[in-house]
Amino acid sequence: MNGALPALRDIHLPPPVGWWPPAPGWWLLALLLIATAALLVRWLRQHRRAGYRRAALSTATAIFHQWQLDGDDDVYREAALQLLKQAAVAAYGRHTVASLSGAAWFEFLDSKVSAPLFCRPPLSGWAERYRPDAVQPSPAAIHPVLVKWLKRHRC
Name every residue whose Cβ is closer than 8 Å to that of residue 110 and which is 6 or more positions away in sequence: 116, 117, 118, 119
Confidence of residue 2 (pLDDT cuts 50, 70, 90): low
What local confidence, expressed as pLDDT, does residue 1 receive? 56
HSE-CB of 90 using CA atoms within 13 angstroms: 17
Q: Mean pLDDT in the chain? A: 89
What local confidence, expressed as pLDDT, does residue 59 receive? 96
What local confidence, expressed as pLDDT, does residue 17 receive? 84
Q: What's the CA gap between 81 and 79, in Å, rounded?
A: 5
Confidence of residue 25 (pLDDT cuts 50, 70, 90): very high
What's the Cα-to-Cα distance from 119 to each of 57, 92, 127, rounded to whole Å?
A: 21, 20, 8
Amino acid letter, 46: Q
Question: CA nearest 126: which of 98, 144, 105, 147?
Answer: 105
What local confidence, expressed as pLDDT, does residue 55 receive? 92
What local confidence, expressed as pLDDT, does residue 51 receive? 85
What local confidence, expressed as pLDDT, does residue 113 receive? 93
Q: What's the CA gap between 75 and 67, in Å, rounded?
A: 8
Amino acid letter, 106: F
Q: What's the CA gap between 32 and 100, in Å, rounded?
A: 45
Backbone φ, ψ for residue 87 (5° rounding): -65, -40
- 150 or 122, which is more confident: 150
